[in-house]
A and B are shown apart, each in its own frame.
Chain A
Amino acid sequence: MDAAARSPETATSNILEVRNIEVVFNHTVQVLRGLSLAVAAGSITALLGSNGAGKTTTMKAISGLLGLENGAVTGGEILFNGASTLNVKPHTLVRNGLFHVMEGRHVFEDLTVEENLTAATYARTGASARDFDRVYDYFPRLKERRKGLAGYLSGGEQQMLAIGRALVANPRIILLDEPSLGLSPLLTEEIFTIIARINAEQGTSMLVVEQNAAMAFAVATHAYIMETGRIVIDGPTERLARDPDVREFYLGIGEEGTSRDYRQVKHYKRRKRWLS
């Protein structure tokens, strides 16, 4: 796909643009301070950072789920398809094609696999046919267990179901929050292979939050790295993968190609750069 190669700097090809947003919880706690990022249409973009950097908050700010947790976007602008999302209700955003696969999977545990997929048909306007063949093509395991309760699925299968619901919704962009959470390396690789396939075959844009930086670099074309509420570095993944700082802090590879002693690791910080 050619779209993947396009630079996110050309505003027209961006399906999602976050401009300098600030997020405050309970009117007091500021979590994001001037964060900007962009996702080119048809691409996979990765958002990396340590625990507590604000990755999940960023995702929720985009999908409008912050309100459920007493959070609010107090500054900046978020554009999906060129239109502001800030005053749009979350369920409307979903129907417009912005689908958020939440951290921790959030499958409906006391519903069956099939009912979970049925719930996702609410994200599609018009067609309500319960045609889940496409999901079962990507995830044959789900087909075997389609009558079983989602709560009894293994962690990997639940993640497949969470992504399967996104497939049912057939969105224009999927926000994927930590798909590897609690999964074995083998399963993580399987999930990421499918994520890359979905992107290539369905042309769905994706913004992926990930702890496993190496995995994210393998599928994404562009990556942002954030720390304490702002982006500290970003660029095409090939370039970032060669960047000595990124290699050291996020890929765990030292200059000589060996891992470094953590005691020598200084806290990484760089002046925020503005995305224009």
Chain B
Amino acid sequence: MAETATPSRWLPRRPWEGVLADGHFGKADETGVTVQTREALGIATLITGEDSHAALDAAMYEHFRLSLPRTPMAVRSGSRQAVWSGPGQWLLVADSREGFRGDLAKLAGLAAVSDQSDGRAVLSLSGPRVRDLLAKGAMLDLHPAAFPVGTAASTSIAYLGVTLWRSADSPEGPVFEIMVARSMAGSFWSWLSASAAEFGYAVTSRRASSADRG
């Protein structure tokens, strides 16, 4: 029996596409956790020698008004964030990919710059039970006294490497941004969806326009 030929087409695909669906899940009538996908971010790793990043510091401030943190912190200026990820290592995260390549070109020669925009998947987590959810996976003290707004951490959840940081609070409470390797998005979601079910959770994916797909 002849097999139907599979059409060979390469199409851009968002990192959470086919992994999660919009809607309300888990415990009915309660929304303990709100999950929002972060689409079409510009993401890059910046790596320098631990003690040789003065030129990168200066360029980051000159071009983006970002002061690179020396400790596990995330700082934001306008539409861009710098997230500490190790000694002499940072993530540059831009809310949009528009102009992101130009941003990275400005850092050429100052650091090992690697565009990871299609290599990472990011969720924004909030809601009254968000800390209870994260406590099931992250071996970190996320109490507001120990993990105030702006704190960042690289750690593992369910044996998956994650980078998480606390961005500015929303009117509903704390907001955690959580980044995983895109190839692990499905595995991470299986942990998150199972762990959040008892609290009830709502998922919203913000649709990216085709122009943002970079």
The answer to whether A and B interact is no
Report A's interface with B, CB cutoff 8 A: none
Question: Which residues of B does A touch, CB under 8 Å?
Answer: none
